[in-house]
């Protein structure tokens, strides 16, 4: 089976790596081609993850770069179409919900190439999120829908997706976490930042709904400023967030003290090390909600909803929105010792990629959606 895998943005690398790794262990069954769309092109958001994860360099890089949603999606489609016509894969594997995922899926579907969507069925039910549109359209067009949790499978059934296309396999991102957590334990990042294990707060912030609105961004930063009065705050700044902070002049909201540690984006291993030893994580990232649930670290999600509700019902995640008052109330409660004991969802055991590859190896692609 000739498999073409697509990765475009930071979270994609952690999801595609274990799948490609398992396939490459069975060369008698699979030949693989890895395509990097170049949606994330900054070395801090791209190249470092290939090194950290031991992922082989991509066979092809489309180099689409930055741009609006339409520009990125169109650029991937135009450049990938030529690749697909040359490579003639038996199946295309896409992961997550970024623009590259949607663009690759549409392009393959129009060429009658079956698509396998890893992390299918996740829903926030918030159509103002670009990622929600990407998720819905990708799932409709995919022949294989690999879900990370039962609620995702239920969402697909409720949308009328045939059962033959739905496969509950667990969370492939946790495969990478489990493989790398021992290595991450040897990271020197604690000494480099001057923080004590278990005695700091880790923050990530990048979603347009949070960083593109100066009022919302200022409120979140003021909450972080209050948190750092109690514990050091480690804040790896996403390039988009850094740009918006400069554009709005929001840097002045953050206190210039040793407790507020603003750092460039971190590699996967250093970030995982910090995540696993944090007193609390504050984020608007979906993947980090999952990782903190598995690591047993309290997580405050700075959004009004989540496409990963299992991290709330089963895990350590709380949805607190983006108002400073709500964020601070929840943060102070955790710092005062009020923490929930979550549990790891079923099949988040480090073997999701093996289940995915087994399905692909043992079955023919179901009919494309239009023939369902």
pLDDT value at 372 more than 60: no
Chain segment 190-202, per-residue pLDDT in tens = 999 999 999 999 9
337-361 exposure pattern, b = at least 16 Cβ within 10 A, e = fewer? eeeeebeebebbebbbbbbbbeebe
CATH node for 187-335: 3.40.50.2000
- Mean pLDDT for the stretch of residues 49-69: 84
Q: Is 116 left (phi over 0), alpha (psi -120 to 50) or beta?
A: beta
pLDDT value at 165 more than 60: yes
pLDDT value at 69 more than 60: yes
Which of 206, 215, 238, 314 is labelled catalytic?
A: 206
Sign of CA dihedral 204, 156, 75, 15: positive
> pLDDT category, 41, cuts 50, 70, 90?
low
Q: What is the DSSP string of 193-259?
A: HT--TTS-EEE----HHHHSSHHHHHHHHHHHHHHTTTS-EEEEPPHHHHHHHHHHTGGGGS--STT
Indicate the SS3 state at residue 341: coil
Task: Give the pTM.
Answer: 0.92
| 351 flagged as catalytic | no
- Residue 9: per-residue pLDDT: 82
Residue at token pair 């949308």:
159
Round to whole Å and give the CA distance between 15 and 12: 5
Q: Which of 12-26, 51-65, 294-308 has the lowest mean pLDDT?
A: 51-65
> pLDDT category, 115, cuts 50, 70, 90?
very high
- Residue 371: per-residue pLDDT: 44
Identify the bridge partners of residue 15 per DSSP, sorted by sequence position: none
Domain boundaries 2-171+348-371, CATH class: alpha beta
Question: Nearest-CA neighbor of 142 among 97, 88, 75?
Answer: 97
Question: Nearest-CA neighbor of 201 among 286, 294, 302, 321?
Answer: 302
Domain limits, the chain: 2-171+348-371, 187-335
> pLDDT category, 340, cuts 50, 70, 90?
confident
> pLDDT category, 367, cuts 50, 70, 90?
low
pLDDT value at 240 more than 90: no
Question: Nearest-CA neighbor of 132 among 303, 354, 315?
Answer: 303
Domains 2-171+348-371 and 187-335 share a fold: yes
User: How far lies 333's CA from each of 83, 279, 338, in Å?
Assistant: 52, 12, 5
Chain segment 244-297, per-residue pLDDT in tens = 888 888 777 776 678 999 999 999 999 999 999 999 999 999 999 999 999 999
pLDDT value at 366 more than 70: no
> Phi and psi for 344 in degrees, rounded to 5?
-80, 125
- Mean pLDDT for the stretch of residues 19-38: 94
Start-end of H helices in the chain:
10-24, 47-53, 69-87, 99-110, 130-141, 150-158, 172-184, 189-193, 208-211, 214-227, 239-248, 268-277, 286-295, 310-313, 324-335, 352-362
Q: Are 109 and 365 in contact (CB under 8 A)?
A: no
> pLDDT category, 135, cuts 50, 70, 90?
very high
- Mean pLDDT for the stretch of residues 360-364: 82
């Amino acid at each position: 089976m000739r498999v073409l895998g697509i990765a475009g943005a930071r979270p994609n690398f952690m999801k595609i790596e274990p799948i490609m790794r398992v396939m490459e262990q069975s060369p008698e069954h699979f030949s693989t081609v890895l395509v990097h769309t170049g949606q994330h092109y900054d070395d801090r958001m791209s190249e470092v993850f290939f090194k950290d994860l031991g992922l082989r360099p991509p066979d092809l890089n489309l180099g689409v770069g930055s741009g609006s949603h339409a520009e990125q999606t169109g650029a991937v489609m135009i450049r990938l179409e030529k690749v697909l016509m040359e490579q003639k894969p038996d199946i295309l594997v896409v992961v997550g919900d970024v623009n590259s995922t949607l663009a690759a899926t549409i392009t393959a579907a129009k060429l009658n190439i079956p698509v396998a969507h890893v992390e299918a069925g996740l829903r926030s039910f918030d159509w103002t999120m670009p990622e929600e549109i990407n998720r819905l359209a990708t799932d409709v067009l995919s022949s294989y829908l690999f879900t990370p949790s039962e609620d995702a499978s239920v969402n697909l059934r409720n949308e009328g997706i045939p059962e033959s296309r739905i496969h509950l396999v667990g969370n492939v991102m946790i495969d990478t976490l489990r493989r790398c957590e021992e290595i991450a334990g040897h990271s020197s990042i604690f000494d480099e930042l001057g923080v004590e294990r278990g005695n700091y707060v880790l923050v990530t912030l990048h979603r347009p709904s949070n960083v593109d609105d100066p009022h919302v961004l200022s409120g979140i930063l003021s909450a972080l400023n209050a948190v750092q009065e109690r514990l050091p705050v480690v804040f790896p700044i996403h390039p988009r967030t850094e740009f918006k902070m400069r554009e709005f002049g929001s840097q002045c909201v953050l206190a210039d003290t040793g407790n507020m540690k603003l750092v460039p984006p971190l590699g996967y291993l250093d970030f995982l090390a910090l995540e696993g030893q944090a007193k609390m994580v504050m984020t608007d990232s979906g993947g980090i909600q999952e990782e903190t649930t598995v690591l047993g670290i309290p997580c405050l999600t700075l959004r009004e909803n989540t496409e990963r509700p299992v991290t709330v019902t089963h895990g350590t995640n709380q949805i607190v929105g983006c108002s400073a008052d709500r964020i601070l109330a929840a943060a102070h409660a955790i710092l005062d010792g009020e923490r929930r004991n979550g549990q790891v969802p079923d099949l988040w055991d480090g073997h999701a990629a093996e289940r995915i590859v087994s399905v692909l190896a043992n079955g023919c692609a179901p009919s494309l959606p239009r023939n369902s």
